[in-house]
Amino acid sequence: MKTIKIDRCEGYLWMSNQEKPKVYQAKPLEVNLDEQSNPFIVEGQLYDLEKKESYSIKYVDGRYLICIHKVEPAKTGQVIEETNYLSNRMSNLWLNFLRYWEEKTDENCMGMPVLTLTKSVFVGFKK
C-alpha cells in the first residue's frame, strides 16, 4: 500500500519534523507512504468514519508498518471493550480504542478458557 485515501477521516499523523501531531476531525485525507521521503510519518492512527476501517501507521527501521482493521460486531466467544486514553500534545483529546478479547484455553489455569486481549483498534476521538 502506497496511498491511504479517506473521505471522512478522524485521527492524527505525527511527522518526524514536528513537535506535535496533526489532528484530523471528519476531514478528507490522502496520505502517500513513500518510505524514502523525509520528513516521514513517525506514527499515525486514522479512522475512516464511513467505511469503519482503522489504520495504524508506524515507521520502523526505514519501513512503514501498517495495520488495517475493519470494525465489526463481536463474534461468538469474543468480547469488545471500549477504552480511552488521554492524548499527548493534542489539546487534551481522548483517543478511543476498541479492545478485542477472545476465549483461549490457558494451561496455566488448569486448561480452562480465559479471555485474552487479541487486538486494540483506534476508532477516533471520544465525543
Separation of alpha carbons 66 and 41, rounded Å: 11
Instruction: Judge if 96 and 55 occupy the same domain.
Output: no
Which of 70, 90, 112 marks a domain boundary?
A: 70
Model pLDDT for residues 25-75, shown as the tens digit of each residue: 999 999 999 888 889 999 999 999 999 999 999 999 999 999 999 998 888
Residue 76: pLDDT above 80?
no
Instruction: Judge if 9 and 48 occupy the same domain.
Output: yes
Instruction: Judge if 17 and 34 occupy the same domain.
Output: yes
Instruction: Judge if 53 and 88 occupy the same domain.
Output: no
| Closest alpha carbon to 1 in 69, 68, 61 | 68
Instruction: Judge if 106 and 52 occupy the same domain.
Output: no
**Structural domain range at position 98:** 78-125
Count structural domains, the chain.
2
State the pLDDT at residue 47. 97
Q: Give the highest mean pLDDT range of 46-55, 97-106, 109-118.
A: 46-55
Instruction: Judge if 7 and 66 occupy the same domain.
Output: yes
Instruction: Judge if 27 and 62 occupy the same domain.
Output: yes
pLDDT band at 1, cuts 50/70/90? low
pLDDT band at 78, cuts 50/70/90? confident
Which of 25, 47, 70 marks a domain boundary?
A: 70
Instruction: Judge if 66 and 13 occupy the same domain.
Output: yes
Instruction: Judge if 59 and 94 occupy the same domain.
Output: no
Instruction: Judge if 49 and 82 occupy the same domain.
Output: no
pTM of the complete model: 0.87
Instruction: Judge if 58 and 116 occupy the same domain.
Output: no
Instruction: Judge if 99 and 57 occupy the same domain.
Output: no
